[in-house]
Amino acid sequence: MIIIDNTRLPESHDDVEAVNSSAKRQPLYAARRKIFPKRVQGWFRRFKWLVMLVTLSIYYVTPWLRWDRGPYAPDQAVLLDLNNRRFYFLFIEIWPHEFYYVAGLLVMAGVGLFLITSTVGRAWCGYACPQTVWVDLFIAVEQFVEGDRNARIKLDAAPWTPAKVGRRGLKHGIWLLIGVATGGAWIFYFADAPTLAADLFSLQAPPVAYFTIAILTATTYTFGGLMREQVCTYMCPWPRIQGAMLDEHSLTVTYNDWRGEPRGKPAKHPSPAGKPVGDCVDCKACVAVCPMGIDIRDGQQLECITCALCIDACDAVMDKLGRERGLISYATLNDYSANMRIARQDDVVIQPARVRNATGGFAPGIRRTNWRSVLRPRTLVYFLGWSAIGMAMLVALSLRPAIGLNVLHDRNPLFVMLSDGSIQNGYDIKILNMTQQPQELVLSIEGLDGATLAGPSLTDAAARQLRVTVEPDLVLPLRLYVRSTARNLPSQSDFTMVVTSQDGAMSASTPVRFEAPDQEE
Amino acid sequence: MSGQDNSPGGHDRDIDHLSGVETTGHEWDGIKELNNPLPRWWLWTFYACIIWAIGYTVLYPAWPLVSSATSGLLGYSSRVELEQTMAAVETANGAVVARIAEAPLEDILADPELARFATSAGASAFRVNCSQCHGTGAAGGPGYPNLNDDSWIWGGTIEQIYLTIAHGVRSPTDPDTRYNLMPNFGADGMLDREAIKEVAAYVASLSDIGGAATPEGEQLFADNCAGCHGERGAGMSDVGGPDLTDKIWLYEGSLEAITAQIERPRHGMMQAWSEKLDDATIKELAIYVHGLGGGQ
C-alpha cells in the first residue's frame, strides 16, 4: 500500500469516460451519454465568462439603445424595419437597393472567419458561437442550482424525491426564462422596443411576435439546455467546414503527448527529472471539464470546439504537481510535430527523457507556442482582404448620395410615333429621398438635343426639366415621357437623366436610352 | 487494416485500425462500413417524421387514384383556398372599388390614391380583356389602334375613351355603340378606278407620303370624303372619321393601302364591354388607357 500525499495530488476522475471512446461497443443508434462538465477556473474560463458577458449584453441590450434621427425616422439605434423596408444601424440607414452593404458584411464575416480560423483555430466554435454561449450559460445555471459535477451525478442517479423535483423544476424554469428572454430580445430588433414591450405585456402585440418568442424559447431551451453538444456534433455543418480551414500553422487545443506519455498514476510518479513516465498523471480532469465530453488526449477530433477549458483544468493540475503548465496547450501542428520528432526520434515509443534536460527543464530545441506563428502570408492576405472590404464599404457609405434616381424604360412598346411624326418614349422614374428632410428637387434631361419631357404633371410643352418635392425617407414614382421631334434619329440614342437639389449640393444621374424606329435606307 | 479483438463484451469485434472505429461487419469489395453511432434522439426524430407523414397523407389529399386522388379527412382543397384568397382580396379592395364606381371620372383622376389604384386595376384588366387585339403594351397593330399615341378616332378625352370601351365600336349587340361605315367606293361602283386614283393621291399628299394633289382629287375628296374626314381631312372624332393628315394610320400608310381602303374599306369591330365588365372596371380601363401617354 502506497501512501498518497493528498495535498499535492489532484482529484482523480476514474469514472469519467469520453463519449467517443473506442473502448466501449456502441449500437448503431446510441442513447445520449450524459455529460456533467465540472467547474473549472483559469485564464480561458475567465475569458469565456468575458465573451459571454459581452455577447449576451450586446444581444439583450442593443434594441434598447436610442438614436435621434429626427421626426421622420425611428429613434432606435439598431432596427430592422421590415414593414417599411429600412435597416437602421446607428448612423447608417440602409435602403432595400443598398442591400449590397449586407452582402459586404457577409463577405467580411466569411473572410474574417478564414482569418480567425487560420490563426487561432476554431475560436468561433469555442467562444463566440451562440450555441456555445447559451450552452455555457445553461450549464452555469445548472451548476448554480444542482451543484458541481459530483453533486449533479448524484442527483441524476437519485430517486424522484420532492427535493429532486424541486431542484430540477427550478433549473428548467430558469432555462425556460432564459429562452423567453432570448426570444423576446429577438423581436425587439424588428420593432420599436419600448412600444413592443408594452404591447407584449398588455397582450396587444401582433400574433407573430408571440409566435416568434414561442419558437425561439423552444429552440433555445431545447438546443441550449437539452441537446447541448449534440447540436455541434450531429446537427451543425460547421465543424466539418471549419476543420478544413485549419493548416499546420493554426493554433489548436493540443495534448502534448511528447511530454505527457507514457501516462502514470500519480502514486507511481517519480520526481520530474529522470523519468520513466511522462507528465500526464491520467487524472482525467481534462475529460471531466469538457462540455463536449471528449478526451482531448485522443488527439484533434471533430467534437472539439477548442474552448480550452481542458487547458485550464490541466494547468491547475500541473500547478499542484509543481510542473510546468502547458501539457495541454494551444499549439500548432508544426511545433507539435517537431517536438514529437524529438520525443520519438527513430523509435515509435515516446521517451520522456529525450525532451528533458538534466535539471528537469525541457531539452533545447523543444518548441513552445509562439504567438508570432499567427503572422504569416496566409493570415496577412486574409487580413488585408478583410480590411480592404471594410475600408471600401466605409468609403462607399460616406460617399453615397442621399438622393437617388432609378429610370426604367418602357419595353412594350419601345417607342410610339405621335401624330406629328415625333417619337415618344415612356419611362417609369423613381426619385429617392434618403434624407430626413423634404427635398425640392429638379429632374432634367441632358443630351438628346431638342427632346422634351412630357407627362400629365408637365404643362409646359417645351420642358426639359421638372420640379418635384419628395417627402423625407420616401420614393416618389413618376410616369414621364420624352419626346423628340428630330428627324432621322438613330434607332438608339443615349442621354442622361439628372436629379439635383435646389442648391446643387446633391445630385444623382443615370444613363437612359431613347429608342426610335429604324431608318429606312 | 482490421483485426479481431476479443473484448470482455463477449462478441468478436472488428475494429478498423486506421480510425479505431468498430465496423458493422458489412463489407463490399474490401471496403468496410464503420459503425459511428447516431444519437437516439436522431432516430426518434426520424420515426416521428414517418408518423407525421402517415398522418399527413390521411388528413390531406395525397394518394393518386385512377382519375382523382384521396381527398383527405380535413377536406382541404387548394382550389377552395384560392377562391377564398380571391374573395378576401376582393373584400379588401371593395371600399376603393366602390368609390371608383361612384365617383365621376374627372374626380378619380384628381384623387392620386384613387387614380393609382384605378391605373393598376385597369392595367391588369387590360391584360385580361384588351391585350388580345391591342397588344400587352397597347401598341396595337395594323387594324388595331395604338393606344399610346395621340391620335384618337373616337376622341381621346377620358369620357370619350370610357364611352368607346363601354359601348364598343360597331358592336352588333349595343344600340349605343360607336358606329360608322365607310362606303365601298370601288366595289359598289360609286367611283371609277381613275377617280379612286385621284382621291387616293390627294389623301396621300395630305400627310406627305407621296401622291400628287390635283384639283380633281381635291374636288372628289370634298364631295365624297369630307363629310366624315373633315374638309381638310383632319378627321372628325364625333363620327369616328380618322385624321388623314397625321402620321398615324390604322391600316398601312402607303398609297397602295389608301387606294385599297377606298376601293373596299376594311372595318374593325370592338365588343361593347359594358355587357361583360362592371362599370368600375370600365372606368379603371379608361383611366389606364388615358394614362398611356396620348390621353387628352
Smallest Cβ distance to A419: which of B137, B246, B293? B246
| Cell output for A254 | 493540443
Q: Is A459 on the interface with B (CB under 8 A)?
A: no
Chain B within 8 Å of A302 (Cβ-Cβ)?
A: no
List of chain B residues with pLDDT < 70 = 1-13
pLDDT the model gives residue A459: 65
What is the DSSP track for A265-280? -GGG---TTT-SS-S-
Q: B24–A28: do the CB atoms touch at under 8 Å?
A: yes
- The backbone torsions φ and ψ at residue A134, rounded to the nearest 5 degrees and listed phi first, read -70, -35
Does the pLDDT of residue A264 top 80, yes or no? no
Residue predicted with more confidence, A44 or A352: A44
Q: Does the pLDDT at position A98 exceed 70?
A: yes
Residue A12 has a pLDDT of: 59
- What's the confidence (pLDDT) of residue A437? 87
Chain B residues touching chain A at CB-CB below 8 Å: 7, 9, 11, 13, 15, 20-22, 24, 35, 37-43, 135-139, 146, 148-151, 243, 246-248, 291-294
Residues of chain A with Cβ-Cβ distance to B13 below 8 Å are 25
Q: pLDDT digits over A452-469, tens only?
A: 998 876 766 678 889 999
Asked if A424 lies within 8 A of B293 by C-beta distance, the reply is yes
DSSP string, A285-298: HHHHH-TT---GGG
pLDDT of A111 reads 93
* A452 touches A463 (CB < 8 A): yes
Distance in Å, alpha carbon of A22 to nearest chain B alpha carbon: 6
Q: What is the mean pLDDT of residues A111-138?
A: 92
Query: Grid cell 420593432 — which residue?
Result: A191
How far is A287 from B256, CA to CA, in rounded Å? Answer: 98
Residues 6+ apart with CB under 8 A from A310: A253, A285, A286, A287, A289, A290, A296, A328
Question: What does the pLDDT read at residue B2?
Answer: 42
Cβ–Cβ below 8 Å for B37 and A27: yes
CB contacts, 8 Å: A420 with chain B: 246-247
Please check whether residue A413 is in contact with residue A442, taking contact to mean a CB–CB distance below 8 angstroms: no
Judge whether residue A413 has pLDDT over 80. Answer: yes
Band the pLDDT of A22: cuts 50, 70, 90: low
Residue A14 has a pLDDT of 60
Of A32, A412, A419, the CB nearest to B151: A419
pLDDT in tens, A353-362: 788 877 777 8
Contact status of A27 with chain B (Cβ, < 8 Å): yes
Please give the share of chain A, as a percent, with pLDDT higher than 90.
51
What is the pLDDT at residue B15? 79
Q: Which of A411-425, A486-500, B30-44 has the lowest mean pLDDT?
A: B30-44
Nine cell digits for residue A310:
481542458
Residue-wise pLDDT for A2-14, tens only, equals 344 444 445 556 6
The alpha carbon of residue B38 is apart from the nearest alpha carbon of chain A, in Å, by: 5
Report chain A's mean pLDDT, rounded to a whole number.
Answer: 87
Q: Taking the C-alpha atoms of A343, A346, A348 and A354 in order, what is their torsion angle to the nearest 10 degrees?
A: -20
Provide the shortest C-alpha distance from residue B64 to chain A (in Å): 35
Query: pTM of this prediction?
Result: 0.74
In tens, the pLDDT along A55-74 reads: 999 999 999 999 988 888 88
Over 70: is that where the pLDDT of A343 sits? Answer: yes
